Copies of this chain bind each other. A is one copy, B any other.
């Protein structure tokens, strides 16, 4: 899989078209972007870039899910963000002129486009729509990050878990043939725990609780959301 010959496609054909930061560019400009990128296939577990390294460019996820993690002194890994189709990663470091302060790893086989730093910086000068889209992307990411910060303080583990499942439903939920909502992402319990900041044992315990209550179902690593209302209640989210 991921044969070299499969890969070199154009941005026009990208499954993430319309969702990314280039979506307002005209055909000629998109063509130009297309010529300045390299498509890479990554297998599950492979890293795109590593914390502490200097940034050479930006990554644009075409297929698959990428986890962005920070590792502490004690080796504990915490997932700060999950990038999916149409998302960009590594853009932060380009503009802040810092080394990568996180590591990006494919959590499943993925196709990711790499765009050179210099080209991006030039493009932002030339195309205000790209600049605005990057601002919008960073703004939404910052909003999500700030929400998570306050969640850590204001919610307990079970509430954060319910919240995570609801967020994953928004970002990765697909309706199956049988009408069930399936989360189209395969995270280990360890990874889920490190998103909401708890121990995997604790996460597993609350997952079991949610299964028993009939809020979710499970088939191997795949999770189905059965009762969204119940989860909302469980998460203590008011609307």
Binding site for B on A (CB under 8 A): 68, 70, 72-74, 76, 78, 80-81, 91-93, 95-98, 101-102, 124-126, 128, 131-132, 134-136, 138-143, 145-150, 152-155, 194, 197, 236-238
13 extra interface residue pairs, beta carbon distance < 8 Å, beyond A124-B131, A134-B135:
A70-B147, A72-B154, A73-B236, A73-B238, A74-B154, A76-B153, A80-B150, A124-B128, A125-B132, A128-B128, A131-B131, A135-B135, A152-B197
Whether the pair B238, A154 counts as a contact (CB closer than 8 A) is no
Copies in the complex: 2
Whether the pair A146, B96 counts as a contact (CB closer than 8 A) is no
Q: Once the chains are docked, how many angstroms separate the CA of A109 from the CA of B21? A: 40
Q: Once the chains are docked, how many angstroms separate the CA of A149 from the CA of B79? A: 9
Query: Which residues of chain B come closer than 8 Å to A141, judged between CB atoms?
Result: 142
Q: Which secondary structure dominates chain A's binding surface?
A: helix
Q: Once the chains are docked, how many angstroms separate the CA of A73 from the CA of B149? A: 15
Whether the pair B147, A149 counts as a contact (CB closer than 8 A) is no
Query: Which residues of chain B come closer than 8 Å to A92, judged between CB atoms?
Result: 139, 142-143
Return 30 A-B CB contacts under 8 Å, by A number. A68-B146, A70-B146, A72-B153, A72-B154, A73-B237, A74-B154, A76-B153, A78-B149, A80-B150, A92-B143, A95-B132, A95-B135, A95-B136, A95-B139, A96-B136, A96-B140, A96-B143, A97-B136, A98-B140, A101-B146, A101-B147, A124-B131, A124-B135, A131-B135, A135-B135, A138-B142, A141-B142, A145-B145, A152-B152, A152-B197
Known contacts A134-B135, A152-B152; decide if A143 and B98 are in contact (CB<8 Å): yes
With both beta carbons as reference points, the residue of chain B lying nearest to A238 in the complex is identified as B73
Whether the pair B155, A72 counts as a contact (CB closer than 8 A) is yes
Known contacts A124-B132, A131-B135, A135-B124; decide if A149 and B152 are in contact (CB<8 Å): yes
Q: Once the chains are docked, how many angstroms separate the CA of A121 from the CA of B140? A: 17
With both beta carbons as reference points, the residue of chain B lying nearest to A91 in the complex is identified as B139
